[in-house]
Amino acid sequence: MNLSVKAAVELARHNIRYQARSAAVRIYDDLRQRILSLDLPPGANLLRSELAQHYEVSQTPLRDALQRLEQDGLVDIFPQSRTLVTRINTTRVQEAQFLRLALETEVVRRLARQGAPEVVEYGRAVIELQRSLAGDRSQLQLFQEMDEYFHGVLFGGLKQDELHTLIRSRSGHFDRVRRLQTHAEDKIQAILSGHERILEAINNCDEDAAVAAIRDHLHKEPDWVDVYRKEHEDYFV
C-alpha cells in the first residue's frame, strides 16, 4: 500500500468515526467548519429554527452544539434572542499563535528525541495528498484542512491528541484569519517545504533542526493580521 493510499485510508477511518458520533457532535463539527471556512462569516445570524431543519434534529442537540461553539469563542448566544458568529478578535489570534508555537515546538522536539518512523511515514503521505491538491485553486480549503491534519499527526505520534484538540478549540479566530489568505503558489510550496523539513529532522533524530523547522514553519510577522483587517474591517472586532 503506497503512502497516499495509506493516508486516504486513515482519513476514511476518521470519517467513519465521524458518522458514528452523536448528533450534537456532528452538528458542532459541521458548523465549526462552516465558520472557520467563512461560509458563515463573522457577524452572521444563526437562526435556530433553520439550523434544526437543515440538520433534521430537535433543539436539544443543536443547543448543545451551539454551546460548545460558544466555549470556543466562535458564537455569541443571546438567550431568547439570537445567536451570532463572533467577529475576529486579534488578541485571541495572538494567544492561539503563542499556544500553538509553544506546544508544537515541544512535540517535534520529543518526536526527534525518541524517533518516530510511523509519524514520518504518515506525515509524508499527507504531504503527497497536499501536493495532489496544490495545483487546484478550488481545493484550497481542503488543502488547508490537510495542513491541520498534518499537525494532528505530529501530536498523535506522542499520543497527545487531546492537546491538539485543545489547540483547535482555542484557534478559531486564528484559523479564520488564515482562511482570508489567498495562498500564492510560492506560499503553498513553502508550506509543503516546511512540512518536509519537519519530518526530515524528526527522521534524523535531530532535535535542534526539528525545533528550527517548526518555528520557521509557524512564524508570523507581528503585523501579519493587520493586512487582513484592513481588507475585511467588518470581520474584526
Quick one: average pLDDT of 92-102? 96
Structure confidence by residue, pLDDT tens digits, 20-77: 468 999 999 999 999 999 999 999 999 999 999 999 999 999 999 999 999 999 999 9
Per-residue pLDDT band for 1 (boundaries 50, 70, 90) equals very low
Distance from C-alpha of 207 to C-alpha of 81, rounded to nearest angstrom: 53
Whole-model pTM: value is: 0.85
Would you say residue 211 has pLDDT above 90? yes
Quick one: average pLDDT of 179-191? 83
Distance from C-alpha of 170 to C-alpha of 100, rounded to nearest angstrom: 9
Q: Are 35 and 74 in contact (CB under 8 A)?
A: yes
Domains of the chain: 3-85 (1.10.10.10), 90-235 (1.20.120)
Nearest Cα residue to 214 out of 161, 150, 166: 150
Structure confidence by residue, pLDDT tens digits, 66-92: 999 999 999 999 988 899 999 999 999
Grid cell for residue 79: 438567550
HEC string for 26-80:
HHHHHHHHHHHCCCCCCCCEECHHHHHHHHCCCHHHHHHHHHHHHHCCCEEEECC
- Which residues pair with residue 77 across a beta bridge? 83
Distance from C-alpha of 116 to C-alpha of 108, rounded to nearest angstrom: 10
Would you say residue 208 has pLDDT above 70? yes
Distance from C-alpha of 145 to C-alpha of 120, rounded to nearest angstrom: 19
- Which residues pair with residue 75 across a beta bridge? 85
